Homo-oligomer: A and B are copies of this chain.
Amino acid sequence: MNDTFLKACRGEKTDYTPIWIMRQAGRYLPQYLEVRARGKGTFLDLCKDPARCTEVTLQPVDIFGMDAAILFSDILIPMEAMGLTLEFQEGRGPVFPNPIQSEKDVEALIIPDPTATMPFVLKTIKLLRAELKVPLIGFSGAPFTLATYLIEGGSSKVFLQTKKMMFQAPELYHHLLEKISRCTSLYLQAQAKTGAQALQIFDSWAGILAPCDYARFALPYVQSIISDLRRMTDVPIIYFANNGSTLIEHTVTAGADVLGLDWRINIKNAIMRVGNHAVQGNLDPIALFLPEKDLKNRIKKLLEDARGAKGHIFNLGHGVVPQTPPEQVRIAVDAVHEFSVR
């Protein structure tokens, strides 16, 4: 068992810097596309098929030697389990045809028992643990990020409906967030109980909030989930607030062990502000298109800049894009391993 990743999360000494990359099992991999095509169904069907989920989760570990695997799933799976209709439309991303608009809508949401409603996720975790020689990361969306999809009915540009609800109907907003948080808390607890060895909370849209709004409308729900988790498990918790460089003063209070960083900040600068946290990140995903020599130099520099960290897990600053040549991912993984040997 390669536990380098877990050690880095805990700020323990490691022989080298571990690496995994967000969306490492995904569309840039021909092997993934093959599995996707074989099953014929939709993306959601794939998420609910433990055998295929296991297969694609293992791919980047087997192909590139990643130091951690992340459960193949989608952050919106538990939102469907709350009773909402969820569709993935080609080119439009996730869509909730009946977005949350009223107290009645919020009241209709159920708090799902993960074992009963999302058995496929827990089954996948079990299958993966039987195969994996590296730690398995479970994950969820952060309540605020999940709420944006539910309120906007999908992705958004300026998040008008979400902010309008915050500003004009704060009680409704907080009621919704409480229910999402309870669901998410149970969901992550179930993942840890079943065998996930670390948990990442993705706050993909945190960066659209002014710091004062983030502190009031997003952060408390992350804190509450993490404090629930702390009572039942000691698995490392990673919190990734995307585009969140101006929120670090707040995100350090979330209760996580590791803070994920997007690529917009120099990692050295971030490390000075994260206190007693390990950090994860933060190569620009598009930097994977650099010529080999330049890519290696950039990775070397990033590793040097991260030397002062309590712990460093190498990652991209956001998900790998589908157009990325797999060979470039291999170069990056090898470079991280080579340059970080201590």
Interface 1/0 per residue, A161-190 and B, CB below 8 Å: 001100110000000000000000000000
Q: How far is the CB of A262 from chain B (nearest CB, A)?
A: 9
Known: A163-B286, A167-B289, A211-B265. 20 other contacts (CB 8 A): A158-B321, A160-B289, A160-B321, A160-B323, A163-B284, A163-B287, A164-B286, A167-B286, A167-B287, A167-B294, A168-B291, A208-B264, A210-B266, A210-B287, A211-B264, A211-B266, A212-B266, A243-B243, A243-B264, A246-B264
The interface of chain A, by Cβ under 8 A from chain B, is: 158-160, 163-164, 167-168, 207-213, 243, 245-246, 263-266, 269, 284-287, 289-291, 294, 317, 321, 323
This protein's copies in its complex: 2
Most chain B beta-carbon neighbours within 10 Å: one of A167, A208, A317? A167
- Shortest beta-carbon distance from A282 to chain B in Å: 8
What 9 A-B pairs are tightest by C-beta distance, nearest first?
A163-B286, A246-B265, A167-B290, A245-B246, A246-B264, A210-B284, A210-B263, A164-B289, A211-B266
Residues of B within 8 A of A294 (CB): 167
Give the shortest distance, in Å, between A17 (CB) and chain B (any CB).
Answer: 19
The residue in chain B whose Cβ has the minimal distance to the Cβ of A164 is B289
A265–B266 Cα distance when bound, in Å, is 17
* Residues of B contacting A265 in the complex (Cβ-Cβ under 8 angstroms): 211, 246
